[in-house]
Amino acid sequence: MPESLALPNDFEWGFATAAYQIEGAVKEGGRGPSIWDTYCHLEPSRTNGANGDVACDHYHRYDEDFDLLTKYGAKAYRFSLSWSRIIPLGGRLDPVNEEGIEFYSKLIDALLRRGITPWVTLYHWDLPQALHDRYGGWLNVEEVQLDFERYARLCFERFGDRVQNWITINEPWIQAIYGYATGSNAPGRSSINKHSTEGNTATEPWLAGKAQIMSHARAVAVYSRDFRPSQKGQIGISLNGDYYEPWDSNEPRDKEAAERRMEFHIGWFANPIFLKKDYPESMKKQLGERLPALTPADFAILNAGETDFYGMNYYTSQFARHLDGPVPETDYLGAIHEHQENKDGSPVGEESGLAWLRSCPDMFRKHLARVYGLYGKPIYITENGCPCPGEENMTCEEAVNDPFRIRYFDSHLDSISKAITQDGVVVKGYFAWALLDNLEWSDGYGPRFGVTFTDYTTLKRTPKKSALVLKDMFAARQRVKVAA
């Protein structure tokens, strides 16, 4: 049998962040407000009083942060651009903020100087507030896709000479569902959340989903026609979604429930984007007219470009149990219950520092095989990580000793190696979430996902042990030869 390496030598790896979670400096350099600035300053607070006004102050400290990347041995770094730093009002006829362009340009150069490959996400949940006010933001499918297209084109024009790896949108599912169904993320719209005064959970998330699918499609069409041929880069999208197993493995309806849950999570976006096909049948059946149709004109746009890779944000897995009886109009899970234990009481994985996140490396391997089998594109893990049990209440001295996180990384890298060598899955890169402890959205500054401890009073950064071992974990797997 021929031998192959557990991980290929050109395997890309590094750390990830997102603009609003780390930058701060929200009123500097001509930046306009985003829906997250507004959401974090609502009264009463919906974010435990936290906001991104200062965050990690990365805006002023990026050089220091990139020195950390060098120290950790990272080959690549994934970060997002704040749309409203670049176009403060967001729209296609609105002025460009040259100071914002200049900021990201310097940041990209600072990475390249260190030999670190930039991976740029155009959108990580921070819609310009002006677009929300002007026409309802992600609820206005026709308008927002044109504004996103212009924003994307501008970024390709200004940064594409140095950036060859693009991610259009981070986790459109979270933007649509948390933003417009549960209201637990900006813009906080919901008809089932007592804090939300506006919104319609039965209809709005499905519009926000279509708006993001079409915004992605337009950016990819522009990149394919006008930029990829000369800039020779690649473009993808980062989708979240847990892996689901049936709660009762002997119950066919639970098996269907598990599959349906993943269609509601992933197929919603991946069918149109990667397969150029309609939404999954299960969604059309349950949602009917509330799911805005993809028309022939939409497919013409989807067909005008090619998405090069599947960005996978993976944290955890769950069990799915079918729901008996009528499905409420506000359901967005696909008529299932989610569980962390199966019928026999076996837990899905070891507990981390957050209730929703259990460590499930074996189901990660199955997830990789399922996604690759269905969509057939090279996969980059664009986020993977966890807070350690109890870390929220630790001092810096305690938190830097993070064996739980080290084991989490190690076991998930093993799953990737097995998926590649034994299951034939094409996985080409891995980004640990996150470079720094940062603003965990509506959970505030409590949960710590970073490989670097951030002291939010002094803003001092201290590497945790996990930051320094990833390099060796990759090197070891790149030396190991396995029979293939």
Q: Which positions lie near ligand GBH, rule CB under 6 A?
A: 18, 21, 170-171, 174, 240, 313, 356, 383, 433, 440, 449
Contact 457, 56 (CB under 8 A): no
Angstrom distance (rounded) from CA 203 to CA 143? 18
Contact 234, 309 (CB under 8 A): yes
**Distance of closest approach, residue 78 Cβ to ligand GBH, in angstroms:** 10
**Distance of closest approach, residue 313 Cβ to ligand GBH, in angstroms:** 6
**Distance of closest approach, residue 5 Cβ to ligand GBH, in angstroms:** 30
**Distance of closest approach, residue 52 Cβ to ligand GBH, in angstroms:** 12
Of the pair 22, 130, the CB lying nearest ligand GBH is at 22
Angstrom distance (rounded) from CA 384 to CA 378? 17
171 is catalytic: yes
**Distance of closest approach, residue 424 Cβ to ligand GBH, in angstroms:** 28
Torsion angles phi and psi, residue 335, rounded to 5: 55, 55
**Distance of closest approach, residue 22 Cβ to ligand GBH, in angstroms:** 10
Q: Please, how many CA atoms are within 13 Å of residue 366, restricted to the half-sphere of its CB? A: 14
Of the pair 294, 371, the CB lying nearest ligand GBH is at 371
Among 349, 325, 320, CA closest to 337? 320
Q: How many CB atoms lie within 10 A of CB 480?
A: 13
Q: Which of 12, 171, 245, 259 is catalytic?
A: 171
Residue nearest to ligand GBH (CB): 356
Q: Please, how many CA atoms are within 13 Å of residue 128, restricted to the half-sphere of its CB? A: 25
Angstrom distance (rounded) from CA 5 to CA 61? 38
Tell which phi-psi region holds residue 49, choosing left (phi > 0), alpha (psi between -120 and 50) or beta.
left
Angstrom distance (rounded) from CA 110 to CA 99? 16
Of the pair 21, 165, the CB lying nearest ligand GBH is at 21
245 is catalytic: no
Among 376, 415, 212, 384, CA closest to 313? 384
DSSP 391: G
DSSP 298: H
Torsion angles phi and psi, residue 269, rounded to 5: -95, -40
Q: How many CB atoms lie within 10 A of CB 304?
A: 14
Of the pair 21, 317, the CB lying nearest ligand GBH is at 21
**Distance of closest approach, residue 49 Cβ to ligand GBH, in angstroms:** 17
DSSP 108: H
Tokens of 414: 């093993």
Q: Which of 245, 259, 383, 440 is catalytic?
A: 383
Tokens of 23: 């930058």
List the end-to-end C-alpha distance of the chain, in Å, as a whole number.
6
Of the pair 228, 367, the CB lying nearest ligand GBH is at 367
Of the pair 12, 440, the CB lying nearest ligand GBH is at 440
> Catalytic residue numbers?
171, 383
